Structure 1
Amino acid sequence: MSSIQNFFKKFQKANLIGMSTLLGFALLFHFIHLSKLSQILILLVVLIGILPIFLRAISALQYKSISIELLISIAVLGALMIHEYDEAGIVVWLFTLGDWLQVIMLRKTRQSIRDLIKTVPTTALKVNTSDDRHYEEVAIDELVPNQYILVKAGSTIPVDGVVVQGTSYVNEASITGESKPTHKIVLSDVFAGTFVNDGTIVVKVNKTGDETVFGKLIELIEDAQDSQTKEQQFIDQFAQYYTPMILILGIVVALWTKNIETAITVLVLGCPGALVIGVPVSTVMGIGIAAKNGIITKGAASFNILTQRNYFIFDKTGTLTIGEPTVVKIENLMGEQDNNLKLLASIENESNHPLARAILKINKTNDFYPIQDIQTIPGQGITAHIDHQSILVGNPKMMQAKHIKIPASTTNIADSKVILTVNQRVHMILTINDQLRPNIQQNLERIKQQGAKKLILLSGDNQEAVDAIAKTLPLDQASGNLLPADKLTIVKQLQRQGESVVFVGDGINDGPALSQADLGIAMGGGTDIAIEVSDLVLVKSNLAQIPRAIKLAHATMHNMQQNIFIALATVLILFIGLFTNFVDMSMGMLVHELSVLLVVFNALRLNYFK
């Protein structure tokens, strides 16, 4: 039986399209008075649609559960017995449509995880010693701890290990989420999946494959996704009580009236058609309106969670901040500012350092001075001569090594400082940092006003940088120096305390926490894996979309509740009319169809959401 169910599940969309086409032609033939042909098509609709519903009803009974599929199966069979073919076909089609709408919105794929795994190299350049430059390309699986590999600029590091020779800037965004590359020197730890921007390094192997931090990160994402239970559909919960009640009522009516047709009428009118279609149509409308506002959500569960009092946890880089080093302050201490900027740009144009790109962005022209005697001092800066002047461009560490006096403010570890000196005198100081997103403070305040329990910042960046940002934002807690597993642990701890957690992130490193959270929100500009495992995506990477999503979630959930009320009220009114002889099968089905139209029109009101 499971193989048949899998078949119907696989071709669910095609099944619905076929039923809809047949139903459309049946209605057309009915209006042009080809009744027999219309009934044949309706019977085909019933036959195609009732089998998967009936199989699910049997499966539920095997687990001692009375589902709404059982009520629909009995009602449809009963309607066929008393020759109410149109009613049977419409009931089956409505249920199939509602079921498909729910499934399509909740479907997820792990293709991004598979693509992510492919980004890790399968081979490495093995060398015999740290000084050896004659390498042999070998499979990663052949490497063992304490062997040496050579990693060139522009390559991805394939193992976890330690640098034993060379220096480089390594982009560790896949592990820490930080956009600013880390300077690696001898004895620095490096991780698989991170990217060497410049320089060549020799790495002593510590771990390979699944044992690396990157490998464990993939495993964490998969485990968190597997352990996350989906919310049971409202219809299934409702059916636990509603279906047995209607079945018992039908049996009582049959015994009391001795009229099987009346009993079957009870079952048919008791099928909550408006409920079956009402909840999905509200969901689809809400999801569609969210998409128009740049918010992609993967199901109604996202709306439900957003209406609760949640802990909102934010990543820093790329989430609260833009994710790119930017010049945020220019201090011109001596000389003309334009000339100093031209000196800086001329030097940085020769560099591939990540901060160089930020400096070049503020250069208003592409006109550079000719440079002589340029020399890079790893981890410090650059020395050069321009027009017989001695130029130094570097960080505070370089200035201290050259015995150049600098202001005390330049030692702030939360910012990157680039200092320009001409003939041993400080001319300009640039402060470079990852800028906060526009209106971030107001957006966080709005989230709090909408009922958020706490706002928390979790980052892989150093604590000083995290504290500097936290001072300017309405956060309740801010923690730095966290690995992906640490973020995941914090989310789990809050959930064990009974809290509902919303995690907002953008990087691969946020994947485990995004998967584990009750609701994962990904920035649209983030990585594919973060977007894939999340439940809601902010296409424009604008946090102002979160308050809007919360407002839309409340509107959508209220709309669903209104549709549920309309559906149940319709059934109640029909039963009252049936038992007082004011309603028969035909009139009841007419009211049924009107109630379906009513919930659809009610859902359309969401189009006016502002």
Structure 2
Amino acid sequence: MTTIPRTWGVVAVSGLLIIGSFITPSGSLLSDLLMIAAAVVAGWPIAMSALHALRSRVVSIDLLVVVAAIGALFLQNWWESAAVTFLFALGKALERATMNRTRQALSDLVDAAPDVATVLRDGQPHTVETWELVPGDVVLVKNGEQVPVDGHIISGHGGVDESTMTGESVPAEKAPGDEVFAGTWLRSGILRVEAVRVGSDSTLARIIHRVEDAQDDKARTQTFLEKFSRWYTPGVMVAAGAVGLLTRDINLALTLLVIACPGALVIAIPVSIVAGIGRGARDGVLIKGGEYLETSARVDAVVVDKTGTLTHGRPELTDVDVLDPAYSADDVLELAARAETASEHPLAEAVIRGARARGLSIGQVHTARPVTGRGIVAQIDGHLVSVGSADLLDSVPDPTRLRHLNELGRTAMYVGVDGEPVGIIAVADTIRADAPAAVRALHEKGVRVIMATGDAEAVARTIAAELNVDEVHAGLLPEDKLALVRQLQERGHTVAMVGDGVNDTPALAQADIGVAMGAAGSPAAIDTADIALMADRLPRLPYALGLARRTVRTMRVTISIALATVALLLAGVLFGGVTMSLGMLVHEASVLLVIGIAMLLLRPTLPSDEPAASGASPRATVPA
């Protein structure tokens, strides 16, 4: 924390000495001494940095500046020496300030960690430090307070601002049984929360640790440039020495040392990586590091598990058809729902939820019997109501409609009254409202979308047709998904795999990029995934790939600027007109330009991924 003020202090003192030299009579002893002092003040930290690097057997860029500045002093070019060291020190200070600015996402996360909590012991509230909490403690969270632990709500309702966790700006409504996370804010209501994960085990702590590691992680391009600079810097010194010996112009040799400093090249990659990862962290997208950022930018194929990713992962009522004009659609659905209250079948709850969504009253059924493999039969208002296959009916209806619904991947059932069919209901796993927009966004980025599922072929193809995915692979086992990812890679694709992290683990490990969605509720996913989407929103995937591409594009632009600057300055030195101080001034200007371009990555660009009304899948509706 003290490095930045000290750095700026050096710049300020050196700058004042230079100004003092300019306002004293030119050529006077005082003017020269002030300029020499300015060079020493600005150059001393640079010399210490160069010496430290030499002790580690690294010939750093700082050494080029030190040699050039000392040489200029021996040549009595006081202004050149002061200008070179001052401008280099100014550039270093700006670089550090920029890196701290780009790391602000991490600072925001650290600041989000609560320090105290109100814990209930023997029914009485006690204020304690958060490090004193243990799993199983019950904490009280009031309106306007931070949630101090990861846990489950025991009682109370409220709106929780989870923007630090998921990037969502709208508070999430929470009720008993829901999960909450440390560092989030309660904006309304009051909650009693049982602690599950505390301190360093909390999701917030894991995110902070993940972002710290990610921002320090190096991209392949950065690693290459660092290896390149190990040879580049000594090479420049040898070349400058050779030029000095051949031309016997020491000033030219020193100027070449300064001109060849790849300052902008050194800062271009790390500032872009930190800015890109920091922006993602603010938007609830955790990227494991620079290498994964670069790989994500090359992704051109995404393998997506169907259940729970493209679909909700649970059956919902989709269709209610009337076969007997004496009954309305509501009548058919109400009878079916009442009968299903006595059933323990997984599809029964979908029928009941669908009826309640229509505002239908569902009473309890006291007499009912399940028929294994066929459905259920119940006594309702003096009538025998059946829900299931045609085997439960006395007369066999036209199976065309039922067969059509089954071909669409829906589970269709007859509703009968006293042995006669009165209607058909159907349930199915419905498409997530945000899935169509996510698939479109991936296609717009030139990414192929491949569905891989263990579900039946008919179900998979129906959903794939509605979403317009590029390939469908159904009936897959975990090893089949692994083989699919390998095949895509053999075809030259860079593959991202989105799955639930359990049965998809082999494919996630094989993919170039493994993506965990809704990772706020899964600490393990935060630790293992290459990209963790904190919010359970599929459109965050194309956003993450777009952010990676913007970051890599920024890296390429800044590298081009840095190389072009060095080339133009070298040409200027060889053909005359570029002095040591002018060269350093242009260098630092290029550093500022590179920093400015990289800082553009910090601009908020996350689009609203709230599903529009028109974006909902037609399968989520219940036609009459």
> Do they superpose with TM above 0.5?
yes
**Alpha-carbon separation, structure 1, partners of 2:451 and 2:359:** 39
1:6-39 CA-to-partner distances (Å, cap 9, x unmatched) read xxxxxxxxxxx44324213333444566997996
Do structure 1's residue 277 and structure 2's residue 271 form an aligned pair? Answer: no
> Could you tell me whether the CA contact under 8 Å between 2:59 and 2:230 is conserved in 1?
no
Q: Give the corresponding residue for 1:322.
A: 312
**Alpha-carbon separation, structure 1, partners of 2:401 and 2:364:** 32
**Alpha-carbon separation, structure 2, partners of 1:26 and 1:427:** 88
Q: 1:559 to 1:232 in 2, by over 3 A?
A: closer
Do structure 1's residue 499 and structure 2's residue 493 form an aligned pair? Answer: yes
Q: 1:608 to 1:507 in 2, by over 3 A?
A: closer
Q: Give the corresponding residue for 2:149.
A: none
Please, which of 427, 430, 437 is the counterpart of residue 432 of structure 1? 427
Q: Give the corresponding residue for 2:190.
A: none
**Alpha-carbon separation, structure 2, partners of 1:343 and 1:588:** 85
Please, which of 380, 383, 390 is the counterpart of residue 386 of structure 1? 380
Q: Give the corresponding residue for 1:72.
A: 61
Please, which of 581, 587, 603 is the counterpart of residue 586 of structure 1? 581
**Alpha-carbon separation, structure 2, partners of 1:28 and 1:501:** 51
Amino acid at match of 1:417: A
1:356-404 CA-to-partner distances (Å, cap 9, x unmatched) read 332233223373224222334555543322222222334x3xx436666
Amino acid at match of 2:241: I
Post-superposition offset of 1:446: 5.2
> Could you tell me whether the CA contact under 8 Å between 1:46 and 1:89 is conserved in 2?
no
**Alpha-carbon separation, structure 1, partners of 2:387 and 2:60:** 78
Please, which of 348, 353, 359 is the counterpart of residue 356 of structure 1? 348
**Alpha-carbon separation, structure 2, partners of 1:576 and 1:435:** 65
1:50-80 CA-to-partner distances (Å, cap 9, x unmatched) read 74x5577x4xxxxxxxxxx634264365367
Do structure 1's residue 601 and structure 2's residue 596 form an aligned pair? Answer: yes
Q: 1:446 to 1:357 in 2, by over 3 A?
A: same
Post-superposition offset of 1:274: 1.5
Do structure 1's residue 23 and structure 2's residue 7 form an aligned pair? Answer: yes
Q: Give the corresponding residue for 1:422.
A: 417
Post-superposition offset of 1:306: 5.2
Q: Give the corresponding residue for 2:476.
A: 482
**Alpha-carbon separation, structure 2, partners of 1:376 and 1:79:** 91
**Alpha-carbon separation, structure 1, partners of 2:51 and 2:375:** 74
Amino acid at match of 2:336: L
Q: 1:316 to 1:594 in 2, by over 3 A?
A: same
1:252 partner SS: helix
Q: Give the corresponding residue for 2:453.
A: 459
2:361 partner SS: coil
Post-superposition offset of 1:573: 3.0
Q: 1:608 to 1:389 in 2, by over 3 A?
A: closer
> Could you tell me whether the CA contact under 8 Å between 1:312 and 1:501 is conserved in 2?
yes
Amino acid at match of 2:386: L
Post-superposition offset of 1:436: 2.2
2:59 partner SS: helix
Do structure 1's residue 342 and structure 2's residue 334 form an aligned pair? Answer: yes
Amino acid at match of 1:316: K
1:331 partner SS: strand
> Could you tell me whether the CA contact under 8 Å between 1:522 and 1:534 is conserved in 2?
yes
Q: Give the corresponding residue for 1:190.
A: none
Post-superposition offset of 1:89: 4.9
Amino acid at match of 2:475: N
**Alpha-carbon separation, structure 2, partners of 1:55 and 1:270:** 23
> Could you tell me whether the CA contact under 8 Å between 1:49 and 1:92 is conserved in 2?
no
> Could you tell me whether the CA contact under 8 Å between 1:371 and 1:386 is conserved in 2?
yes
> Could you tell me whether the CA contact under 8 Å between 1:506 and 1:522 is conserved in 2?
yes
Q: Give the corresponding residue for 1:405.
A: 396
2:367 partner SS: strand
**Alpha-carbon separation, structure 2, partners of 1:243 and 1:103:** 29
> Could you tell me whether the CA contact under 8 Å between 1:95 and 1:273 is conserved in 2?
no
Amino acid at match of 2:396: K
> Could you tell me whether the CA contact under 8 Å between 2:516 and 2:532 is conserved in 1?
yes
> Could you tell me whether the CA contact under 8 Å between 1:19 and 1:49 is conserved in 2?
no
Post-superposition offset of 1:553: 4.7
1:275-301 CA-to-partner distances (Å, cap 9, x unmatched) read 222233334444455567665544455
Q: Give the corresponding residue for 1:249.
A: 239
> Could you tell me whether the CA contact under 8 Å between 2:65 and 2:258 is conserved in 1?
yes
Please, which of 534, 537, 555 is the counterpart of residue 529 of structure 2? 534
**Alpha-carbon separation, structure 2, partners of 1:247 and 1:489:** 52
1:131-183 CA-to-partner distances (Å, cap 9, x unmatched) read xxxxxxxxxxxxxxxxxxxxxxxxxxxxxxxxxxxxxxxxxxxxxxxxxxxxx
Q: 1:87 to 1:604 in 2, by over 3 A?
A: closer
Q: 1:50 to 1:500 in 2, by over 3 A?
A: farther
Q: How does 1:145-294 map to 2 (within 5 A)?
A: 231-233=220-222, 235-236=225-226, 239=229, 242-243=232-233, 245-257=235-247, 263=253, 265-287=255-277
**Alpha-carbon separation, structure 2, partners of 1:419 and 1:80:** 90
Q: 1:291 to 1:478 in 2, by over 3 A?
A: same
**Alpha-carbon separation, structure 1, partners of 2:235 and 2:335:** 83
Amino acid at match of 1:383: V
Q: 1:446 to 1:281 in 2, by over 3 A?
A: same
**Alpha-carbon separation, structure 1, partners of 2:377 and 2:40:** 89
**Alpha-carbon separation, structure 2, partners of 1:512 and 1:103:** 34
1:562-582 CA-to-partner distances (Å, cap 9, x unmatched) read 212221222223333444553
Please, which of 562, 583, 602 is the counterpart of residue 567 of structure 1? 562
Q: 1:370 to 1:545 in 2, by over 3 A?
A: closer
Amino acid at match of 1:415: R
Amino acid at match of 1:369: G
Q: Give the corresponding residue for 2:516.
A: 522
> Could you tell me whether the CA contact under 8 Å between 2:515 and 2:533 is conserved in 1?
yes
1:201-246 CA-to-partner distances (Å, cap 9, x unmatched) read xxxxxxxxxxxxxxxxxxxxxxxxxxxx973535236547755653
1:70 partner SS: coil
Do structure 1's residue 375 and structure 2's residue 369 form an aligned pair? Answer: yes
> Could you tell me whether the CA contact under 8 Å between 1:266 and 1:575 is conserved in 2?
yes
**Alpha-carbon separation, structure 2, partners of 1:230 and 1:88:** 25
How well do the aligned residues superpose, as a CA RMSD in angstroms? 4.4
Structure 2, unaligned runs of 5 or more:
21-33, 74-80, 107-217, 608-624
Q: 1:376 to 1:80 in 2, by over 3 A?
A: farther
> Could you tell me whether the CA contact under 8 Å between 1:492 and 1:516 is conserved in 2?
yes
Q: Give the corresponding residue for 2:161.
A: none
Task: Give the share of equivalent positions with the same residue, in percent.
Answer: 32
**Alpha-carbon separation, structure 2, partners of 1:96 and 1:368:** 66
> Could you tell me whether the CA contact under 8 Å between 1:348 and 1:359 is conserved in 2?
yes
**Alpha-carbon separation, structure 1, partners of 2:565 and 2:88:** 18
**Alpha-carbon separation, structure 2, partners of 1:98 and 1:247:** 29
Amino acid at match of 1:70: V
1:354 partner SS: coil
Q: Give the corresponding residue for 1:219.
A: none
1:430-462 CA-to-partner distances (Å, cap 9, x unmatched) read 22112223475565455345433x432211223
Amino acid at match of 2:503: N
